[in-house]
Structure formats: structure tokens, C-alpha cells
Amino acid sequence: MSWWQRLLNRRDLLKVGAGASAALVGAAALAQRTPNATRTADGHPIDHGGHGGNRMIGTVDHTKNGFDPLQLLTDWDYGKVSRLPNGQTLREYTFIAQEKDIEIAPGVTFPAWTYNGRVPGPTIRCTEGDRLRVRLINQSRHPHTIHFHGVHPWEMDGVPGAGAGEIPPGGSTVYEFDAEPFGCHLYHCHATSLKRHIHKGMYGAFIIDPEQGRPPAREFVMMQNAFDTNFDGGNEVYAVNTIGFEYARRPIPVQKGELVRLYLINILEFDLINSFHLHGNMFDYYDHGTTLTPTSRIVDTTMQAQGQRGIVEFRYKYTGQFMFHPHISEFTELGWMGMFNVVEPKDFPRALQDVGLNDTWNERALNGFAAKQKGSAT
């Protein structure tokens, strides 16, 4: 009489029998138990930011990973800068395709395919009209490419069958083109199979500044990404800049009243859309970053489909810890959630210190555009 398994999904039946079960439940002793862990391993109270038990256990070893999401926020890569005979600025980059196991959530490793051993890859930052020369060296066991968004000749498109096509293991190629138009773009591998090459981690931000620049601001790059750890065509861990909940564990310091600018890019695979929602504030949004005036004003949520991006600008009126996350609850609870730690200017050094940051980070955040005008090479 294998009746019992049939009962599993029979909610109606269960309600009929509810009288009996209620009696049983009522009779059950109340052995109340409180969760014993109230603090994370690194000492943060678990309830900070109001996300309660929705969190990961432990911390990620950023040193072993070779990159720290807080550093990634401001890690502009201007390339090796020189001047061409025609007066044009030349920026040269070397990208090495490498396979690397990275820790994407505390204790969870992912066999990533990377540019230069990090996910996302380097944030290319240049000015409209610059000449870009990007060498790709493939040191992995699979063919790869770099496909840049923006305007460029067909041979430089970085797709199979165009120009050098897919670069085989051990091979290399050079992509060279002028940076246009200005905006918040991205690059990614376009080798087949496309989905796998993207979700494995081969992508990065490609910021082309307008010649006249943008108003001074504290600037951050945020790549909305996710990882399919069991390769079933659905993501397990969601994040911005790779590590789930990292900015909830270590809130990003900003000052009250200052202009904050986010270069927001959605490089999600397997899910059609992603979104960005800011707490305690409204923002202006520049779709694709290709305009100097906002394409939507005073909104607190914006949506991006796969490969879509834009610039988010806001100022905080109040101090405090304000969440940001996609208004897709599922992604939020799966790791794509962080916090801005908004403080008075006088409290800023302390806020930096609290999350292991220093003045260099602050400088980079404030001078993303200005720094490269000096032609500095990092």
C-alpha cells in the first residue's frame, strides 16, 4: 500500500485531515531553539544591512583569487600610453587568456576562463578617438577571442570567421581600432560556444570617456555577473564584480552629498534581464552612457537585458548604510546585493579603513578621467 508518497503533493487532502494533524501538532512539545551564530567569521553581525539570515557563511580569500572586488570598483586600466605620429593617443594592452579556479563565494570554487587571471577582466579606460591596440595571447586549452562593443572594422570584430577569428591555444593576435563612440561599453569572448565562454568569466568593462569628460564624481565599475557552478544552464551565485554579497560584508564607502557615478554593465548569462535598484535615493540614468544628458531622470530602478549597460548618477542626502541590488528578489537572495556606507566627509578615512581601503583607492575613485589625461600608465 504505497499510499504515503501519493500524499506528498495532495494539499487538499491534507486540509481535510487538518483536524487530526492540528491535534498532533498542538500536542508537540515546544522545544524552542535560537540560531547560535549571531556573527560572521569576520566579526560582522549577521543582521547588518537588514538581510537577516540571507547570507553566505565564511569569507573569500581575495589574495589567492588575485583580485578584490573593492579594488575592482576603481581599477581603471589605461594601458601603455604613447603618441602616434599623427598626434593620436595610442593605448596598448596585453590580454592573456588563462584558465583559473577562482573562489566566487566563500568556499565555492569555479573553474573560470579569464583574461589576465581575473573576473571580470581589466577595465579598459580610454578617451574617444584614442587608438587601441589589444594583444590577445591564448595560454588556455580552448580557442578564444575578444569582441569589443562599439564601432570598429569587420576584421577587428573578434568573432569566428572575421579577421583572425578564433585564436587557438598557444596562438595570439592583435586587435587595433579607434575608440568610438564614447560610452559605457563591454568586451567579451565571442568564441563558440558563446554562452560558455561568457559565463566562464571572459568579459570586462570598456569605458570610452567623452573628450570633454564628465563632471567630477566618485566613480565605480559594476559588472553584474553570475556563475553556473553545476553547469545545468542556470546560475547558482549572482553578484556584481564576481563575489556574492561581498559589498554587503564590506560596504562601499561614499561621502554624503558627493556625486557618485556607476558604470553599470549586465553580463549575465541564462537569465534574460538584470536590474539595479538603489535604496534611500533616486538616480539619473544614461542608457549605454552614449549621451551627456540623462536618458531617464529621477528613477530608483533600471533594467538591463543581457549585454546592456549604462551610467547611474546620484548623490546621497543622508548618511547610513544603503542597500543596492537588482529588484529581482531571486538574484538579490542569491548574492547580488551590496551596500553603500554613506558617511560625513570627516568620517570617510575611518570608513575606508573599516573595509581595508586606503587613499590610493580614494584617488582612483575620484580621478578616473583626470588621471589618464596626464597620460599616466598603470
**To the nearest whole angstrom, how small is the minimum distance from the Cβ of residue 25 to other proteins?**
6
CA 346, chain centre distance (Å): 29
Is residue 272 within the footprint of other proteins (CB under 8 A)? no
CB 233 within 8 A of CB 269: no
Single-letter amino acid, residue 44: H
Beta carbons within 10 angstroms of residue 376's beta carbon: 11
Q: Which is nearer to other proteins, 10 or 83 (CB)?
A: 10
188 is in an annotated binding site: yes
Closest alpha carbon to 254 in 360, 336, 339: 339
In the complex, the smallest distance separating the C-beta of residue 47 from other proteins, rounded to whole angstroms, is 10
Residues in 57-96 that interact with other proteins by CB under 8 A = 57-58
Distance CA 307, CA 266 (A): 5
* Residue 91 · residue 138 · CB < 8 Å: no
Nearer to Cu ion among residue 217 and residue 226 (C-beta): 226
Q: Closest distance between Cu ion and the C-beta of residue 110, in Å?
A: 15
Q: Which one of Cu ion, other proteins, none is in contact with 23 (Cβ closer than 5 to 8 A by kind)?
A: other proteins
Judged by the rule CB under 5 A, the positions of this chain that interact with Cu ion are 144, 189, 191, 197, 202
Would you state the cell numbers that stand for residue 237, as one nine-digit string?
551565485
Which of the choices other proteins, Cu ion, none does residue 191 contact, using the CB cut-off of 5 to 8 A by kind? Cu ion
Which of the ranges 33-41, 148-156, 305-313, 348-356 carries the binding residues for other proteins, by CB under 8 A?
33-41
- Contact window for other proteins (CB under 8 A) among 103-111, 202-210, 305-313, 357-365: 103-111
Verify binding: residue 254, other proteins, rule CB under 8 A. no
Nearer to other proteins, 31 or 346 (CB): 31
Binding mask 326-345 for other proteins (x = CB under 8 A): ----x--xxx----------
Looking at beta carbons only, is 43 or 53 nearer to other proteins?
53
Q: How many CB atoms lie within 10 A of CB 192?
A: 13
Task: Compute the distance between CA of residue 272 and CA of residue 345 in angstroms, rounded to an integer.
Answer: 40
| Cβ proximity to Cu ion, 142 vs 325, nearer residue | 142
Tell me the residue type at 181: P
Q: Which stretch binds other proteins (CB under 8 A): 10-18, 254-262, 272-280, 361-369?
A: 10-18
327 labeled part of a ligand binding site: yes
In the block, cell 549597460 appears at: 309
- Could you count the other beta carbons within 10 Å of the beta carbon of residue 77? 19
- Quick one: what does residue 260 bind among Cu ion, other proteins, none, with the CB cut-off 5 to 8 Å set by partner type? none
C-alpha–C-alpha distance, residues 124 and 129, integer Å: 14
Cis peptide before 69 (omega within 30 of 0): no
Cβ atoms within 10 Å of 295's Cβ, excluding its own: 15
Residue 30 site contact among other proteins, Cu ion, none (CB < 5 to 8 Å, cut-off depends on kind): other proteins
Q: How far is the CB of 188 from Cu ion (least distance, A)?
A: 8
Does the protein bind other proteins through residue 154 (CB under 8 A)?
no
Q: 134 pairs with which residues across the strands? A: 93, 175
What is 117-178 written as a DSSP string?
TBSS--EEEEETT-EEEEEEEE-SSS-B--EESSS--GGGS-STTSTT-SBPTT-EEEEEEE
CB of 140 to Cu ion, least distance (A): 8
Helix H or strand E encompassing 354: helix 348-354
Site residues, other proteins (CB under 8 A): 1-11, 13-14, 16-21, 23-25, 27-37, 46, 53-58, 105-110, 227, 229-230, 232, 236, 244-245, 330, 333-335
